[in-house]
Amino acid sequence: MFSAGHPVWENHGMLPNFVLVGFMGCGKTTVGRRLASIAGHRFVDADDLIVKNQGKSISAIFAESGEEAFRQIEERIIRDLVGVAGIVLSTGGGAILREANRESLKKIGIIIWLDAEPDALFERAMRSGRRPLLQTDNPRQAFDTLLAARRSIYESLADLRFDSTGVDHDEVSRKVLDQAMRHQAHRP
Ligand code: S3P
């Protein structure tokens, strides 16, 4: 962990953006908020921007217009963030599906994959009851299918991976900042 006197740490102008990717329930929003606060960055949640932009909930967008329409809006919202500095961006779990989004996310900042054991992810993802892709007769099956299809995409896209199973969100946030800064320092 960087101490308060670390020169890079003190100069916020040098801190890159951080992009959090990962499956529903991995803790992107909570970790993202804390990471933003310790990095002196602004926290941006792509799903929140979509909700504000559309004036309705994610569930309502899925129910009224379908997933494809949601993905179109998501792509536009993410593209609009390219070039914005001083942010920690939390993305929806499926944002990595589109090539256009993967390209935008790479331009936005260091990509951090928050991972966890499947059982922990499932339990957390089901908690809010607001995730349309899990509103099925067999949510665990839907969850397993989506996770299996996405795992390799998170893996190939991310600069860094963190397992948050059983780890306190504050600790994850500190580790993410520390590792991300080391990663940045070693970039060509
Ligand atoms: C989705 C994840 C959700 C939200 C939408 C679709 C997905 O975000 O974007 O329900 O495809 O995994 P969270 O990962 O924040 O739950």
CATH number, domain with residue 99: 3.40.50.300
- Domain membership of residue 142 (yes or no) is yes
- Domain membership of residue 104 (yes or no) is yes
Task: Give the CA-trace dihedral at 116, 102, 97, 26, to 10 degrees.
Answer: 20
- The span from the CA of 46 to the CA of 133, in Å, is 17
Q: Provide the domain limits for residue 60.
A: 22-182
Question: Global pTM?
Answer: 0.91
- Domain membership of residue 2 (yes or no) is no
- Domain membership of residue 102 (yes or no) is yes
Give me the half-sphere count of Cα atoms (radius 13 Å) on the Cβ side of residue 119.
1
Q: In the predicted model, what is the mean pLDDT of the chain? A: 91
For residue 2, what pLDDT band results from cuts at 50, 70 and 90?
A: very low
pLDDT of residue 14 exceeding 80, the answer is no
Q: How far is the CA of 61 from the centre of ligand 1 (A)?
A: 12
- Domain membership of residue 81 (yes or no) is yes
- Domain membership of residue 129 (yes or no) is yes
Q: In this predicted structure, what is the pLDDT of residue 5? A: 37
- Domain membership of residue 119 (yes or no) is yes
Q: How far is the CA of 6 from the centre of ligand 1 (A)?
A: 36
Q: Whose CA is nearest to atom 12 of ligand 1?
A: 93
pLDDT of residue 122 exceeding 60, the answer is yes
- Please, which contacts does 130-139 make with residues 24 or more away whose CB atoms are closer than 8 Å? 130/57, 130/58, 130/59, 131/24, 132/58, 132/59, 132/62, 132/63, 132/67, 133/24, 133/62, 133/67, 133/94, 134/24, 135/59
Over range 66-90, report the average pLDDT: 98
Atom of ligand 1 nearest to the CA of 97: 11
- Domain membership of residue 156 (yes or no) is yes
Q: How far is the CA of 41 from the centre of ligand 1 (A)?
A: 23
Give me the half-sphere count of Cα atoms (radius 13 Å) on the Cβ side of residue 65.
13
pLDDT of residue 18 exceeding 70, the answer is yes
Q: How far is the CA of 140 from the centre of ligand 1 (A)?
A: 15
For residue 4, what pLDDT band results from cuts at 50, 70 and 90?
A: very low
In the chain, the number of structural domains is 1
Q: In this predicted structure, what is the pLDDT of residue 11? A: 44
Q: Is 115 in the pocket of ligand 1 (CB under 6 A)?
A: no
The percent of residues in the chain predicted with pLDDT above 90, rounded, is: 81
pLDDT of residue 112 exceeding 80, the answer is yes
